[in-house]
């Protein structure tokens, strides 16, 4: 357990109560054919069917609706490659407050259009973390908006952790495999499992071309900056500071999959989940399929994080 956890089970259960009725309880479905091919009992937590088509809706709604009226008056702001921005824009629109989203110029056009559809003000920047943060600081200074970090904000992490609560309310898995980008979802699920099902292993999964999480987990030192090369656009960011501390203390390992494996997983997941699956959302299944011996005979949940595909 980390020395100073940034969120607790109580934060996650409070988030679950706060966002009830604003986000969906997504299906947990058994993927019989995929599981047989891998040699495990495979279940899919279908966050690609969530509102705004990604798990990010959970953390964004928790953060927005936790603000008091004074704090919310000037709106909210963030930087995002797409899904968090769309989720925050939706949550802000539901609370009738402004949303300012800093978006990298190479962002998925489908995700950018979704952000715009919820009425947010988009500000473009270069596709680096440094550029995102610099432009966001200008936006916050100009507008007075409240910054909601895509993955380091404790309210966001707690909201994402509700995915773990829902899994454990329906199933007692041996392993839960979670895509890893900034680490909000992985950290939140790890906290929930550590408190409620400590025998359940929690593993991260990330693209081989954006494996800063694995490098940091192996060395014990967070990778502060890296240059990702992956089709999984939602996982191109760096693991956050508080997220890394929770992951290092609570997660059992980090797996990787290359882009060809990720795209192969995408092809088989649409029918299994009943909706589109973006590459970032398929990385957990790709990583499981890459190491079938690790999961043989076990009950495994793969979190399918999003379904915002370019079109």
How many helices (H) and strands (E) would you count in the chain?
A: 14, 10
- pLDDT number for residue 311: 56
Closest CA to 222 of 254, 255, 190, 244: 244
Q: What are phi and psi of 174, to 5 degrees?
A: -75, -35
| Regions in the chain scoring below 70 on pLDDT | 1-5, 310-311
CA distance 90 to 68: 18
pLDDT at 4: 47
Which DSSP string corresponds to 199-248?
A: TSEEEEEEEGGG-HHHHHHHHTS---------S-GGG-SPPPHHHHHHHH
CATH code of the domain made up of 57-147: 3.40.50.1100
Q: For position 6, what pLDDT does the model report?
A: 81
DSSP 8-state secondary structure symbol assigned to residue 153: S
Q: What is the pLDDT of residue 129?
A: 77
CA distance 264 to 285: 10
DSSP assignment letter at 309 = -
Q: What is the pLDDT of residues 250-277, one digit of tens each?
A: 999 999 999 999 999 998 999 999 999 9
Helices assigned H by DSSP within the chain: 9-19, 32-38, 56-66, 69-72, 83-95, 109-117, 129-143, 154-170, 184-196, 212-219, 241-250, 259-273, 279-290, 292-295
Q: Which fold has domain 9-54+153-304?
A: Rossmann fold (3.40.50)
Half-sphere exposure of 223 (CA within 13 A, CB side): 22
Q: Where in the chain is the domain with CATH 3.40.50.1100?
A: 9-54+153-304, 57-147
């Amino acid at each position: 357990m980390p020395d100073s956890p940034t969120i607790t089970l109580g934060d996650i259960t409070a988030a679950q109560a706060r966002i009830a009725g604003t986000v969906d309880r997504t299906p947990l479905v058994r993927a019989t054919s995929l599981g047989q091919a891998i040699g495990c009992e495979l279940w899919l937590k279908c966050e690609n069917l969530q509102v705004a088509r990604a798990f990010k809706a959970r953390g964004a709604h928790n953060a927005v609706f936790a603000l008091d009226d004074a704090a919310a008056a000037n709106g909210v702001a963030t930087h995002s490659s797409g899904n968090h921005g769309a989720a925050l824009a939706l949550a802000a629109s539901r609370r009738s407050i402004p949303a300012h989203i800093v978006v990298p110029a190479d962002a998925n056009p489908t995700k950018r259009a979704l952000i715009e559809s919820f009425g947010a003000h988009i500000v473009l920047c270069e596709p680096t973390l440094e550029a995102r943060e610099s432009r966001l600081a200008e936006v916050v200074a100009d507008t007075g908006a409240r910054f909601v970090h895509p993955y380091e904000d404790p309210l966001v992490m707690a909201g994402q952790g509700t995915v773990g609560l829902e899994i454990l309310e329906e199933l007692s898995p041996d392993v839960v495999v979670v895509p890893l980008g900034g680490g909000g979802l992985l950290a939140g699920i790890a906290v929930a499992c550590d408190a409620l099902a400590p025998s359940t292993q929690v593993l991260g999964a990330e693209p081989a071309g954006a494996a800063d999480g694995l490098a940091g987990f192996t060395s014990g030192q967070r990778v502060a900056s890296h240059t990702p090369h992956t089709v999984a656009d939602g996982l191109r960011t760096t693991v956050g500071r508080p997220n890394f501390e929770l992951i290092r203390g609570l997660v059992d390992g980090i797996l990787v999959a290359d882009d060809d494996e990720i795209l192969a997983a995408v092809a088989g997941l649409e029918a299994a989940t009943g909706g589109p699956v973006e590459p970032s959302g398929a990385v957990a299944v790709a990583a499981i399929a890459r190491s079938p011996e690790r999961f043989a005979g076990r009950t495994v949940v793969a979190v399918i994080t999003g379904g915002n595909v370019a079109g």
